[in-house]
Each structure stands twice: as structure tokens, then as C-alpha cells.
């Protein structure tokens, strides 16, 4: 069985749930995020708060939680004319994708994560991509992740495992998974400290957490919370 993992951890709802999932399964867990010139840079602060609160609230997990890594990927922002990397309004493009789509983002993230995991001796790379309740990003799809896993395994000459705990869960089920992993304490932690909003807005507190309430990320998170709360 695999004993160690590297979690792509932005500090949002999905990646916090994935981190909890990894901390339940693996003896040694490290975290990784990227600074790519994103508008919602507040997530880089939020992730530190989430890590601090996780360590305080879950001592067993704290003992497994290792080094945190932050990589400079500003070149991605330089080549991406999107609403995540430029101060432009959120809208749908003629392609059918929202203009929050950053081409190649997850491909770069996972390639660098696999390289870091190789160097750190970590056996699994965990990411919160999902194609069930999502904005349609092609680099979140299961086929993309499976193809990349093959390519990375060949390129590194080592079996590379890309784990996607949320791939077939909708947002309500993601909230439920967080509750199963850490109870009300983890759900409350995600509500208060995680950050998902693409606009970087933490001035407005909703039942589902902080955010503008209008961007695609907020809409998905809010809808999932409403369904989860109704079923609970």
C-alpha cells in the first residue's frame, strides 16, 4: 500500500477536503500550491490559515502533515488572457467555456507536482479535479488525468499515481465527504477558513462561506451547500 502523498492544496473547499482525505489514508502528507498571478491571490493566505486550523483541530492529522511547498508559476499568468489572471468580467466564451479557464493550468500543476513528488519520495499525487459538478474545464476530466498519468509515468520512468477523490462527486457530496472525514469540526473549518471565490472577495460571509456569490466558483459552492444542508 502507498504510504505517502503530495496534495495540490489551494486552500479551497475541494483541496481542503482532498487534504483531509489524504491525511486519513497516508502516513506522510505534504502540500503544494502555485503562485501564477491569480486575481484571487487571497487563496495563498487562506491556505496557511487552513493548515494552521487543521493542525490545531486534528492532532492525529497534524502528526502526518509535513512540509508545505509554494512554487512560482508566474509564466502561466503571462500567457493566460483569462478572468483569473486579468481584471476582466466573468463571462462565457464562444467555446462554451467560462473565461475563467486557464489553458494548461492543471497540466502544468500536475507535471510540476509529479516532479516534486519524485524528488521528495512521495508516492501519490492528490488533486481535487472533478468532472461531475464543474465549469467544464477539459483539464479536469477523468480522461485527461488518466492520459497525463500515463505520460508522467513514462517520462519519469516511475509509476506515477494521480489520485482524484472528488472526480465523480457533486459539490453536495463533497460537503458530505468532509463531514464523514472530520465531522462538524471539518465542515465548519472549511466554511470559515477556506477560499474558493475567483474574485478574491472575503468581505461577504454567506451560509456556505466567503465569496462574491456571483463567480462560477461561488455558484457551484453555494449550490452544493444548499443541497447538502437540505439533505442533512
pLDDT band at 104 (very low <50, low <70, confident <90, very high): confident
Of 87-91, 103-107, 128-132, the least confident: 87-91
pLDDT digits (tens, 9 = 90+) for 130-156: 998 766 788 899 999 999 999 999 999
Residue 54 to residues 16, 46, 96, Cα–Cα distance (Å): 9, 12, 38
Is 8 in contact with 109 (CB distance < 8 Å)?
yes
Instruction: Please tell me the total count of domains within the chain.
Output: 1
**Three-state secondary-structure class, residue 35:** strand
Is residue 38 predicted with pLDDT exceeding 50? yes
- Rounded distance, CA 205 to CA 210, Å? 5
Could you tell me the CATH number of the domain that includes residue 106?
A: 3.40.50.620
pLDDT digits (tens, 9 = 90+) for 181-210: 999 999 999 999 999 998 889 999 999 999
Of 19-23, 34-38, 164-168, the least confident: 34-38
* Four-CA torsion 199, 145, 224, 93, nearest 10 degrees: 50
Residue ranges making up the domain that contains 55: 4-231
Please state the pTM of the whole predicted model. Answer: 0.90
- Rounded distance, CA 57 to CA 230, Å? 26
In 23-56, which positions are buried (b, 16+ CB within 10 angstroms) versus exposed (e)?
Answer: bebbebbbbbbbebbbbbebbbebbeebbebbee
Backbone angles phi, psi at 87, to 5 degrees: -85, 75
pLDDT band at 80 (very low <50, low <70, confident <90, very high): low
DSSP bridge pairs for 205:
210
pLDDT band at 216 (very low <50, low <70, confident <90, very high): confident
User: Of 26, 74, 68, which is closest to residue 50 (Cα–Cα)?
Assistant: 68
pLDDT of residue 97: 56
- The cell for 119 is 524528488
Is 126 in contact with 160 (CB distance < 8 Å)?
no
Residues constituting the chain: 232
Mean pLDDT of 97-114: 80
- Look-up of cell digits 466564451: 93
- Rounded distance, CA 212 to CA 185, Å? 24
Amino acid at each position: 500500500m502507498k504510504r505517502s502523498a503530495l496534495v495540490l492544496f489551494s486552500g479551497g473547499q475541494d483541496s481542503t477536503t482532498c487534504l483531509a482525505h489524504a491525511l486519513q489514508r497516508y502516513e506522510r502528507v505534504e502540500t503544494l500550491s502555485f503562485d501564477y498571478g491569480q486575481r484571487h491571490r487571497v487563496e495563498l493566505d487562506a491556505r496557511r490559515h487552513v493548515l494552521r486550523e487543521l493542525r490545531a483541530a486534528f492532532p492525529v492529522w497534524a502528526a502526518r502533515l509535513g512540509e508545505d511547498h509554494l512554487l512560482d508559476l508566474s509564466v502561466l499568468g503571462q500567457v493566460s488572457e483569462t478572468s483569473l489572471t486579468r481584471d476582466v468580467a466573468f463571462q462565457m466564451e464562444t467555446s462554451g467555456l467560462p473565461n475563467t479557464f486557464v489553458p494548461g493550468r492543471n497540466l502544468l500543476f500536475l507535471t510540476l507536482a509529479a516532479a516534486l513528488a519524485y524528488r521528495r519520495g512521495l508516492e501519490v499525487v492528490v488533486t481535487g479535479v472533478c468532472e461531475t459538478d464543474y465549469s467544464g474545464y477539459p483539464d479536469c476530466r477523468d480522461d485527461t488525468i488518466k492520459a497525463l498519468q500515463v505520460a508522467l509515468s513514462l517520462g519519469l520512468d516511475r509509476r506515477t499515481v494521480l489520485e482524484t477523490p472528488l472526480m465523480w462527486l457533486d459539490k453536495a457530496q463533497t460537503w458530505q465527504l468532509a463531514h464523514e472525514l472530520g465531522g462538524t469540526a471539518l465542515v465548519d473549518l472549511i466554511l470559515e477558513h477556506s477560499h474558493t471565490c475567483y474574485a478574491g472577495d472575503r468581505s461577504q460571509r454567506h451560509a456556505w462561506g466567503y465569496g462574491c456569490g456571483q463567480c462560477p466558483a461561488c455558484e457551484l459552492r453555494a449550490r452544493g451547500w444548499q443541497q447538502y444542508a437540505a439533505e442533512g
